[in-house]
Structure 1
């Protein structure tokens, strides 16, 4: 829903009637996560995608029906059966979709949501789903913020969604969110500020990492104490270029750090990286990585121990930084680092998908990744 919000509001300003189709539950290897939305206008225009093409045609027709009848509808889509053209997910999973015509009440909530998002405030849209099949009439939409959470179990679901930026469902009575009947499941879709990537060391690797960080939707900061190297011209993809000693910069923004922040230390110089890593590893950031050879890593660990870091604190350090892709160029190295950051955030193993027994998309969206042995020569 995040990627189509502005276009939805543009439709509203121009009086375009539409319905919003949203994935409210998934199982198995579903192609898109809960909270993914597609909008269909009365004149047939489409915004967004629910499944990469598998069921869009069927959802499109359901949305046109919802607009015509002015009611909330729902359906589930799974593996296609004997009809090769039936709506189904060839990936083997199932998604449940709710389709709701948008009216004045919904648009009022969406306008407030957009205003809070534009002000940089974390906010979540809470959508009651009606009965367990997602076909009930629904009730009023509402917004949740860190200082204004709903009462009861749904408030806890909203708190978690705002914390990690992941959409969730939950039942108002605290029971299994997949339950049916009158338990009134809710969908909570967070709109939070961008993930943050702090890159220390004004090198070619930093330039490549800032490019891929921006591509992944991070707000990228490049920081180095050397003004001749730390310029916006050298790092056009960074949102912010700072000339400052790295550890002093991190200390200055300590109150802004959280689990959605990644710190990458590319300085190769103990006078920069040791005081920086001491502070980073004692902060609430979600990822800390440092570049260097294995010899550099061993020397760095010794210096960090001498600085007082515990074994538990050192265990959080990703060093040498990145996954083993056998690459060497700045771009290949940046890809390796970015892959490790994503794996750390999502709980991925970093193993080849062909060696996993867990659902492909389940692993991507945070399900445990189970590695199975692959016989030699198979």
Structure 2
């Protein structure tokens, strides 16, 4: 439910009753990952999605029913009905299976304060992990635990205290990795007792995209970066070009030498760095530092001749071949892009492929999976 936290936070703050359907497990090819949510309020307004359209109608009705009777329900959807030859029933035409948990969040719901706190934190860009029991002993169903980014716990499952501690530790690990998924434990917190399945959702501040070079390609990339959910910064040492008027969509516009700014700003394993400066006096000191950071992506614009020259300069500056292997240059996927907008799309496509483990090839005629279950690990600097 945290993936639609902004909308649900407004509903909760306004005192609305609503029901939330959350994908808790996925098998095979499915359009949405665990944590994807659809919510319906008492007036019938819906936000979010659990399947991209395949089962939304059925899930909508489940939400309405949960609001009426106050009971949560767990339902499995898949395309396995031999009598539904056209695939027009409430199933997934893609062939996968999803488990969807529907929970009413009404004024009298005992877990509403914890859920409201989670939604408020996520909507305001704070790091939180929300753990909810989705299968296990009936007395524990509906239990909710919230873990703040600083490790503070709120709520609990109402069972053995060790279960709260065990799941809080798991939630901390999920939050550190930015993951959403399920874990299993015994009802006493150990591997004994009745099994308990817990969905843990993580919400983190938006990942950073830092675009170096106040050029027309950067202006196009800022828009695509915002569309993908990044917090976008544009940095260039030339004040005449690095202005808010030229980059109105950027979250930050910074006038500074790129390498100096990168040395003093915060980055993490989700940060992407796009070097569009196309000038050795900016590129070399910037990339020398960037390739030593454990970030998700480092790409640099330029022709193949520029790339070879840049590699030689970086080697002379002491950058190892192992670090140079992390550099995406020339930046972007081969889309035949020419305009700034097409080039921005090419860069964004490469960033998504690197993030999700895609190969960047056409799906037409291919036999590779459409969805990749496990994103690749961030390369560690040598």
Could you tell me which residue of structure 2 aligns to residue 163 of structure 1?
Answer: 176
Could you tell me which residue of structure 1 aligns to residue 205 of structure 2?
Answer: 193
For the residue of structure 1 that corresponds to 2:343, the secondary structure is helix
Could you tell me which residue of structure 2 aligns to residue 226 of structure 1?
Answer: 238
TM-fit CA distance, 1:6: 3.5
5+ residue gaps, structure 1: 175-180, 369-378
Could you tell me which residue of structure 1 aligns to residue 334 of structure 2?
Answer: 324
- Measured in 1, the distance between the counterparts of 2:68 and 2:140 equals 15
Could you tell me which residue of structure 2 aligns to residue 178 of structure 1?
Answer: none
1:175-226 CA-partner distances (Å, limit 9, x unpaired): xxxxxx9421111111111111000011111111111101111111111101
Q: Where do residues 249-328 of structure 1 align in structure 2 (5 Å cutoff)?
A: 249-253=261-265, 256-328=266-338
Could you tell me which residue of structure 1 aligns to residue 50 of structure 2?
Answer: 50
Q: Where do residues 181-220 of structure 1 align in structure 2 (5 Å cutoff)?
A: 182-220=194-232
5+ residue gaps, structure 2: 154-163, 188-192, 377-382
Q: Residue 18 in 1 paired to residue 18 in 2? A: yes
After superposition, the Cα gap between the structure-2 partners of 1:266 and 1:6, relative to the gap in structure 1 and judged at 3 Å, is closer
Could you tell me which residue of structure 1 aligns to residue 121 of structure 2?
Answer: 116
For the residue of structure 2 that corresponds to 1:184, the secondary structure is strand
- Measured in 1, the distance between the counterparts of 2:139 and 2:65 equals 15
1:323-363 CA-partner distances (Å, limit 9, x unpaired): 11011111111111111111111111112123543432x22
TM-fit CA distance, 1:16: 3.3
Could you tell me which residue of structure 1 aligns to residue 356 of structure 2?
Answer: 346
TM-score when normalising by structure 1 = 0.87
1:284-335 CA-partner distances (Å, limit 9, x unpaired): 2111001111111111111111111112111111111111101111111111
TM-score when normalising by structure 2 = 0.86
Could you tell me which residue of structure 1 aligns to residue 157 of structure 2?
Answer: none
Which of 134, 140, 146 does residue 143 from structure 2 map onto? Answer: 140
TM-fit CA distance, 1:162: 2.2
1:76, 1:97 within 8 Å by CA — same for their partners in 2? Answer: yes
Could you tell me which residue of structure 2 aligns to residue 96 of structure 1?
Answer: 99
2:28, 2:95 within 8 Å by CA — same for their partners in 1? Answer: yes
Could you tell me which residue of structure 1 aligns to residue 347 of structure 2?
Answer: 337
- Measured in 1, the distance between the counterparts of 2:166 and 2:355 equals 25
- Measured in 1, the distance between the counterparts of 2:14 and 2:301 equals 52
Could you tell me which residue of structure 2 aligns to residue 107 of structure 1?
Answer: 112
After superposition, the Cα gap between the structure-2 partners of 1:195 and 1:224, relative to the gap in structure 1 and judged at 3 Å, is same
2:208, 2:272 within 8 Å by CA — same for their partners in 1? Answer: yes
2:133, 2:198 within 8 Å by CA — same for their partners in 1? Answer: yes
TM-fit CA distance, 1:119: 5.5
1:259-302 CA-partner distances (Å, limit 9, x unpaired): 11000111111111100001111112111001111111111111
2:151, 2:172 within 8 Å by CA — same for their partners in 1? Answer: no
- Measured in 1, the distance between the counterparts of 2:69 and 2:368 equals 41
1:74-106 CA-partner distances (Å, limit 9, x unpaired): 110001632344211111111101111114433
For the residue of structure 2 that corresponds to 1:340, the secondary structure is helix
Could you tell me which residue of structure 1 aligns to residue 252 of structure 2?
Answer: 240
